[in-house]
Structure 1
Amino acid sequence: MLPLDAIRMTLRAITLGLLLGLVTTPAAEPRHALALHGEPKYGPAFEHLDYVNPDAPTGGTLKLANVAASTFDSLHPFILRGTAAEGIGRIYDTLTVRTLDEAFTEYGLIAESIDVADDNSRVRFNLREIARFHNGEPITASDVAWTFRRLREDGHPQYRAYYRDVERAEVIDRHTVVFHFADTANAELPLILGQLPVLPEHYWADRDFGSTTLTPPLGSGPYRVAEVEQGRRVVYERVDDYWAADLPINQGRYNVDRISYDYYRDGTVALQALKAGEYHLRRENVARNWATAYDTPAVDDGLLKKVEIPHDQPAGMQGFFFNTRRAIFSDPKVREALGYAFDFEWTNENLFYGAYKRTRSYFQNSELAATGLPSDAERERLEPYRDQLPERVFTEAYQPPSTAETSRRRNLRQALTLLREAGWTVKDDVLTHTESGREMRFEILLVSPSFERVVLPFRRNLERLGAEVSVRTVDPTQYQNRMETFDFDMTVHVAPQSLSPGNEQRDFWSCEAADTNGSRNVAGVCDPVIDDLVEQVVDAPDRDALITRTRALDRVLQWRFYAIPNWYIDRFRIAYWDRFGRPADNPPYGLALDTWWVDPERAARVDNR
């Protein structure tokens, strides 16, 4: 046994060693910004973003329209219940903010600096002491931790998937919060947590977080809710004493005093309202309108502008999505066969004035899209799953059916061949499964009447195959409810993507999301190979690995035929009254509308037309 003094000396040495270990544990220096791969474009001393006018004047009004939905019934965007008002995100600030001229870089907003552990086991956000909610109360680390817990426990189901790899939030002091990670391989987690909107804990203390509300909530962002007419109109006003107005990341942004959204039930009515000057700016998504509907004196006189702004923003996948939870769509060969009934070339020429390109990838219009045959690096990722994948994943480049080099009739014959191979034959003019006797009857669910002209020719081709297809257009509230509970057979859907796919892919394609109401796994994808590939994307250690892993995932999604690809366009089509000034260059990865400003002379010219 050691003498008592020796024991004491040993304990002191152990304690000292532990303390020294705590002091010298390797840790990255706090940063003003985080880039997922590489270094941030803007250094710590940057004065403003390259795509803004830092001297832009403030004032005036921007009137916008919501045409995609006919109503809203809530100002609470963080829960599954209700339909939130357009633009409500403008009232909230986040820990960090993303730029539109970098693939994925976040700069401090509420957070003055960010400290990521060298082993990626945690991220520390050091909050700005000047950060304030609109009522003057300071934003604290407790608000951050409370928001995180509330979103994950009571918020929209997508938050649970998004934050799955976060173990806990720890409040260190009034202005310091640390998030601890359960998975240290996910390099995207610190940036994902930077996107966290920070809500006021004190405001929600006596309110039900799970209920919808039309009472303007307390925020901290550049705008607050000024007026609300349920289902018809919402107006936001710029906060005069906005706490972050002078930060470099905000220079030249948020220049308009008032932004309003008017809701229209009909797209044709909304277009006529624009031409009458009822609102100021419209993103045109209908090719026929862009080609024919703006032949007006105001356009000829230069008062109503039509501009096309190119971008490099990923298009994702727009298509006719199958609900594979339905028995008739559970077989990939059936899904492949029905894809031959959609004639994109005819649709583009006769309905869209040749405006679009065919979508073929779930990461279209980006370097993440799988093209040609797999590279060696992609093969390495896919090879362990060879026995579980179609051989074509390795030997063919996916291309959706086309009538550019063949006829529609030949495509329909190919569809029938595939259907027979899958056990379907035409009996009494209806496709019927030979074993189960099940008939091929399904509904295409729509929310926009303007899409009916696209779907009806597609339906005619499906009927030539022997399928009995109905088309149903429902109001936005019913559509949302049905989509959230996956109560549909086929629908037109867009699966959006970013240049840095990560955690959100779980919500798109995982088995867990397939069984979670409100998730974005519309198709009901549940495939262990895809689950594994999604996790590889999430854990990608660098940009090259991310590209390779995303392309591998893309190939499997393509050859599983979860959607019949539609089309995309690589530019924004904007029609707007010439009331505004805007920077000379728009950033490549988004429409930077918050950098525009009202030009008083131009506005007067338009108003006096």
Structure 2
Amino acid sequence: MIRSPLTRLSRLLIAGFFCLAASLPLSAQSGLEGVHGIAMHGDLKYPPDFTHFDYVNPDAPKGGRVVQSAIGSFDSFNPFIVKGTPADGLGLLYDSLTSKAQDEPFSEYGLLAKRIYVPEDRRWIEFEMRPEARFSDGVPVTAEDVVNTFRLLREEGSPFYRAYYADISKIEAVSRHRVRFEFADTDNRELPLIVGEVPILPKHFWDSRNFAETALEIPIGSGPYEIASYNPGRSITYRLREDYWGADLPVNRGRNNFAQWVYDYYRDSTVALEAFKAGQYDFRLENSAKNWATGYTGPAFDQGRILTRSIEHDNPTGMQAFVMNSRRSQFQDPRVRYALAHAFDFEWTNRNLFYGAYKRSHSFFSNSEMAAEALPDAAERAILEPLRAQLPEEVFTQVYQAPQTQGDGNMRLQVRKGLHLLAEAGWTLDKGVLRNSAGEPFRFEILLIQREFERIVNPFIRNLERMGISVNVRVVDISQYINRLREYDFDMIVGSFGQSNSPGNEQREYWHSESAERPGSRNLAGIRNPAIDQLVELVIQAPDREALVVRARALDRALQWNHYVIPQYHINAYRVAYWNKFGMPETRPKYALGFDTWWILP
């Protein structure tokens, strides 16, 4: 064997060179230049020298006190774990590596991060952090805080984080103010953006505490606010930090204008509305059509002291629905689930209870180009054809529409269709009682958190009773409700699945088989379907906007025709009421309400 004529010193020098190269930032190894922001698809709207977002007033005055309502109670200041009921507004305490622009579909700009380094294939990302960033106790924010945050969330936090960030293969503090994320062999182009959205927690604070336990000890954060005071379970007051390190950053200018931000807790929304009209709090986002149509009257409204506005938005409205727990035996057959959908008379409900305020939801991506509202085109069929054997035939031949009525309360045709589907699934109507082949009656419980929803549920129950189905309603407090959902201890609930203009990793949490039995996931319906699993992965891996739209439509179609939920309704506007004490920018964000850009009038 002929050996290379290298001296021992030469070999050590070469080995040292490669070790040094391996420890260098990937950005240095690749020669990448840092950028000020990153977009999911396409180009950034704002250039490197931008001074503020277009939807803010950069000269907005700081000061004043805003009070909002919250429902129920709280017993924790840790919103990142399964245990406890966290207080509202805790996001005000924390900064993240990046900040989202609310007038772009999905773009992130540096917050804690000064520069961002990411290659074309997005297999890794590095954040160069701002050395001036400080936690509220004056301790600098470093790369070690970022590394420890992800360790805490993935190892001790809610199971959601473990699944959502499963494709992160390595997180490393390259230097004191530089952190690197490396990703598994995946085409998940969203991952570099969503790691930048995580609130960064102080390592020095949590090193001496049990992260997995609930507590009302005031936490430390690097964000614009800190907790000034609280009354356990009743109210919490946040105070704008005078020493907030990031107040003049372009992503923050014109935002965080309230000197104090208070959440007062109320027993239910009826009490909360009356408190608002009595001047007990300042701003209300209304989600009840009845309240909006009939509740906002009185001298304060007539005199202009309280103002109401309906502000349209361009966000996908997602899906609000009766969610059936398919882990339960009676809901495992899609024909049964579809049969029950015929008992919900949206048209009558909208006319008589909602004053015609809502549109019927048919899609999981309503109010967006991702909604499957026509037969699949060639591009979508190319995605669906390999999965044909695992999908209902209607996916290829029909456009889904939730069952409809004339709105006159006559449900004979719908009840007949429902009973026909139930008979196909092996259920028989016997002396007014629907029974399976074993003679067991069809009965279930609807679990609610808001008693006001009973007026919507009761007509639905009456129609189910005409099918021979026995249903009872149980209203529980927020703590019990959260715990039962975490353990999937329910038959049916009213649930919602929010969507963004750039769906991605959260789709795994909603629909993927891996999340079906994991406590605390958002797969409330218990979906375990290999075809939907593949479609979810295709959405996450979409290389561009065009592919994302096509793949989301294919996923939408598969969800629709498996009848996992009974679609309800949506509205593409924010209904807001507020005491006439606020100023707001002339331009509003396209994809958000932007309440954090408002200010108190002098």
Give the AA of the match of 1:349: R
In structure 2, what is the Cα distance between the partners aligned to 1:398 and 1:313?
Answer: 21
Higher alpha-carbon deviation: 552-561 or 405-414:
405-414
Following TM superposition, the consecutive aligned residue runs of length 4 or more in structure 1 with deviations greater than 3 angstroms are 1-28, 404-407
Deviation of residue 405 (structure 1)? 8.7
Deviation of residue 367 (structure 1)? 1.3
> Which residue does the alignment assign to 2:540?
538
> Which residue does the alignment assign to 2:46?
42
Give secondary structure in 2 for the equivalent of 1:5: coil
Which of 145, 157, 160 in structure 2 is aligned with 1:158?
A: 160
> Which residue does the alignment assign to 2:510?
508
Matched-pair contact (CA < 8 Å) for 1:27–1:118: no
Higher alpha-carbon deviation: 400-409 or 190-199:
400-409
What does 1:25-36 align with in structure 2 at a 5 Å threshold? Answer: 26=30, 28-36=32-40
Which of 426, 439, 442 in structure 2 is aligned with 1:440?
A: 442
Deviation of residue 437 (structure 1)? 2.6
> Which residue does the alignment assign to 1:284?
286
What does 1:162-173 align with in structure 2 at a 5 Å threshold? Answer: 162-173=164-175
Which of 562, 567, 577 in structure 2 is aligned with 1:565?
A: 567
> Which residue does the alignment assign to 2:597?
595
Q: 1:98 to 1:416 in 2, by over 3 A?
A: same
Deviation of residue 206 (structure 1)? 1.0
In structure 1, what is the Cα distance between the partners aligned to 2:407 and 2:600?
Answer: 50
Is 1:425–2:428 an aligned residue pair?
A: yes
Give secondary structure in 1 for the equivalent of 2:457: helix
Give the AA of the match of 1:333: R
What does 1:202-213 align with in structure 2 at a 5 Å threshold? Answer: 202-213=204-215
Higher alpha-carbon deviation: 286-295 or 328-337:
286-295
In structure 2, what is the Cα distance between the partners aligned to 1:405 and 1:374?
Answer: 30
Deviation of residue 372 (structure 1)? 1.0
Deviation of residue 120 (structure 1)? 2.2
Is 1:413–2:410 an aligned residue pair?
A: no
> Which residue does the alignment assign to 1:55?
59
> Which residue does the alignment assign to 1:483?
485
In structure 2, what is the Cα distance between the partners aligned to 1:90 and 1:24?
Answer: 34
In structure 1, what is the Cα distance between the partners aligned to 2:21 and 2:285?
Answer: 59
> Which residue does the alignment assign to 2:114?
112
- Segments of structure 1 that go 5 or more residues without pairing to the other structure are 601-609
Which of 398, 402, 405 in structure 2 is aligned with 1:403?
A: 405
In structure 2, what is the Cα distance between the partners aligned to 1:307 and 1:79?
Answer: 36
In structure 1, what is the Cα distance between the partners aligned to 2:11 and 2:269?
Answer: 77
> Which residue does the alignment assign to 1:381?
383
Matched-pair contact (CA < 8 Å) for 1:158–1:507: yes
Deviation of residue 121 (structure 1)? 2.0
Give the AA of the match of 1:292: T
Deviation of residue 541 (structure 1)? 0.8
Deviation of residue 20 (structure 1)? 9.3
Please give the per-residue CA displacement for 1:365-417, whole angstroms capped at 9, x wherever unaligned: 11111111011111111100111111100000000000149952111111111
Matched-pair contact (CA < 8 Å) for 1:26–1:118: no
Q: 1:471 to 1:175 in 2, by over 3 A?
A: same
In structure 2, what is the Cα distance between the partners aligned to 1:203 and 1:5?
Answer: 55
In structure 2, what is the Cα distance between the partners aligned to 1:13 and 1:396?
Answer: 68
In structure 2, what is the Cα distance between the partners aligned to 1:139 and 1:103?
Answer: 29
Give secondary structure in 2 for the equivalent of 1:420: helix
Matched-pair contact (CA < 8 Å) for 1:236–1:260: yes
In structure 1, what is the Cα distance between the partners aligned to 2:122 and 2:158?
Answer: 27
What does 1:128-207 align with in structure 2 at a 5 Å threshold? Answer: 128-207=130-209
> Which residue does the alignment assign to 2:232?
230
Percent of aligned positions that are identical: 53
Please give the per-residue CA displacement for 1:415-456, whole angstroms capped at 9, x wherever unaligned: 11111111111123211112x333210001100011000000
Give secondary structure in 2 for the equivalent of 1:471: strand
> Which residue does the alignment assign to 2:126?
124
> Which residue does the alignment assign to 1:604?
none
Q: 1:25 to 1:119 in 2, by over 3 A?
A: farther
Deviation of residue 60 (structure 1)? 0.2
In structure 2, what is the Cα distance between the partners aligned to 1:429 and 1:460?
Answer: 13
Give secondary structure in 2 for the equivalent of 1:289: helix
Deviation of residue 364 (structure 1)? 1.2
> Which residue does the alignment assign to 1:576?
578
Give the AA of the match of 2:224: P
Q: 1:246 to 1:296 in 2, by over 3 A?
A: same
Matched-pair contact (CA < 8 Å) for 1:306–1:576: yes
In structure 2, what is the Cα distance between the partners aligned to 1:360 and 1:579?
Answer: 39
Q: 1:23 to 1:382 in 2, by over 3 A?
A: closer
Deviation of residue 510 (structure 1)? 1.1
Matched-pair contact (CA < 8 Å) for 2:118–2:124: yes
> Which residue does the alignment assign to 1:606?
none
Please give the per-residue CA displacement for 1:437-488, whole angstroms capped at 9, x wherever unaligned: 3321000110001100000000000000000000111111111111110000
Deviation of residue 585 (structure 1)? 2.5
Give secondary structure in 1 for the equivalent of 2:236: strand
Instruction: Please give the TM-score of this superposition, normalised by the length of structure 2.
Output: 0.96
In structure 1, what is the Cα distance between the partners aligned to 2:574 and 2:317?
Answer: 12
Deviation of residue 15 (structure 1)? 7.1
Give the AA of the match of 1:61: R
Deviation of residue 228 (structure 1)? 1.1
Matched-pair contact (CA < 8 Å) for 1:369–1:551: yes
In structure 1, what is the Cα distance between the partners aligned to 2:446 and 2:51?
Answer: 51
Deviation of residue 10 (structure 1)? 10
- Alignment RMSD (CA, Å): 2.0
Give secondary structure in 2 for the equivalent of 1:248: coil
Matched-pair contact (CA < 8 Å) for 2:446–2:472: yes
Give secondary structure in 1 for the equivalent of 2:5: helix
Give secondary structure in 1 for the equivalent of 2:88: coil
Q: 1:520 to 1:23 in 2, by over 3 A?
A: closer
Is 1:469–2:496 an aligned residue pair?
A: no
Q: 1:153 to 1:12 in 2, by over 3 A?
A: closer
Deviation of residue 142 (structure 1)? 0.5
Please give the per-residue CA displacement for 1:567-598, whole angstroms capped at 9, x wherever unaligned: 00000000100000001222121110000000
Deviation of residue 227 (structure 1)? 1.1
Instruction: Please give the TM-score of this superposition, normalised by the length of structure 1.
Output: 0.95
In structure 2, what is the Cα distance between the partners aligned to 1:548 and 1:368?
Answer: 7
What does 1:54-73 align with in structure 2 at a 5 Å threshold? Answer: 54-67=58-71, 70-73=72-75
In structure 2, what is the Cα distance between the partners aligned to 1:589 and 1:92?
Answer: 22
Give the AA of the match of 2:66: L
Matched-pair contact (CA < 8 Å) for 2:324–2:331: yes
In structure 2, what is the Cα distance between the partners aligned to 1:20 and 1:94?
Answer: 29
In structure 2, what is the Cα distance between the partners aligned to 1:276 and 1:64?
Answer: 13
Q: Give the paired residue count.
A: 597
Give secondary structure in 2 for the equivalent of 1:325: coil
Is 1:90–2:92 an aligned residue pair?
A: yes
In structure 2, what is the Cα distance between the partners aligned to 1:23 and 1:399?
Answer: 50
What does 1:259-274 align with in structure 2 at a 5 Å threshold? Answer: 259-274=261-276
Q: 1:20 to 1:477 in 2, by over 3 A?
A: closer
In structure 2, what is the Cα distance between the partners aligned to 1:163 and 1:6?
Answer: 45
Give secondary structure in 2 for the equivalent of 1:374: coil
In structure 2, what is the Cα distance between the partners aligned to 1:65 and 1:35?
Answer: 34
Matched-pair contact (CA < 8 Å) for 1:166–1:183: no
